[in-house]
Amino acid sequence: MYNDHLEQFTLTLADVLKSIKKLKDQRMSAYGLRSSHVMVLYILGRTPDGLTPAELSDASSVDKALISRIISELTEKGFVTTAPSGGKRYKARLLLTTEGRNVANYIASAVSTIQQKVSGDIPKEDLEVFYRTLFILQTNFRNLAEEGETQE
C-alpha cells in the first residue's frame, strides 16, 4: 500500500506558506515592503536591544546572505539602523527606527488578528497537540537532512 502522508504534508504546507506569503504581501504593500521583510521587522520588534545579523539569521531561520539583503533594503527605506559597534559591521546590533517600530507594531497586530481568524475555532487542546507534533516533525526532518540520509 502506498503511504502518501509525506506528499499530503508537503503539498498542504506549501499551500499554507503560499497563503501566508500572500497575506504578508497584501499587508506590507502600503509600506512598500514585501513578505521577506515581515519576519525581520517582527523579530526586531520583539527585541528592543536589537540583534546582530547573525543572531537575526538564527532567530528567523533565514540564511545570512538573504538577511544581509533584507537589512540593506530595510535600512535604505529607513526602517532599520545599526547601533555603533566600534568594530565590524556584522557585529553591529540592528535596531528599528521609529518608523520601523510603527511597522513592527502593525505586523504584531496583524499577526494577532490573522491568528485569531485562522485558529480561533480550534480548541486550545487541539492546537497544543498540533504544535507539539509539528515541532517534533520539524526536528526529525532537520535531523534527517543533516544526516544526509534518504528514506525510501
pLDDT digits (tens, 9 = 90+) for 100-125: 999 999 999 999 999 999 998 999 99
Q: Is residue 131 domain-shared with residue 93, that is, in the same domain?
A: no
* pLDDT confidence bin for 1, thresholds 50/70/90: very low
What is the DSSP-derived secondary structure letter of residue 82? E
Report the predicted TM-score, pTM, of the whole model to 2 decimal places: 0.79
Residue that the C-alpha cell 507594531 belongs to:
105
Residue that the C-alpha cell 520588534 belongs to:
45
Q: How many domains does the chain have?
A: 2
Average confidence score pLDDT of the chain:
89
51 lies in some domain: yes
Q: Is residue 137 domain-shared with residue 84, that is, in the same domain?
A: no
Q: Is residue 114 domain-shared with residue 42, that is, in the same domain?
A: yes
State the cell numbers at 41. 521587522
CB environment 86-100: b (16+ within 10 A), e (fewer): eeeeeebbbbbeeeb
132 lies in some domain: yes
Sequence length of the chain is 152
Residue range 76-81: average pLDDT? 95
Q: Answer yes or no: are the C-beta atoms of 93 and 82 closer than 8 Å.
A: yes
Q: What percent of the chain has pLDDT over 70?
A: 91
What is the DSSP-derived secondary structure letter of residue 94? E
Q: Is residue 110 domain-shared with residue 133, that is, in the same domain?
A: no
Strand partners, 94: 51, 82
Q: Is residue 84 domain-shared with residue 136, that is, in the same domain?
A: no
Q: Answer yes or no: are the C-beta atoms of 23 and 107 closer than 8 Å.
A: no
Structural domain boundaries, residue 150 = 122-152
Q: Is residue 52 domain-shared with residue 90, that is, in the same domain?
A: yes
Alpha carbon distances (Å) from 152 to 14, 71, 147? 22, 40, 15
Q: What is the per-residue pLDDT for 152?
A: 47
Q: Is residue 126 domain-shared with residue 115, that is, in the same domain?
A: no
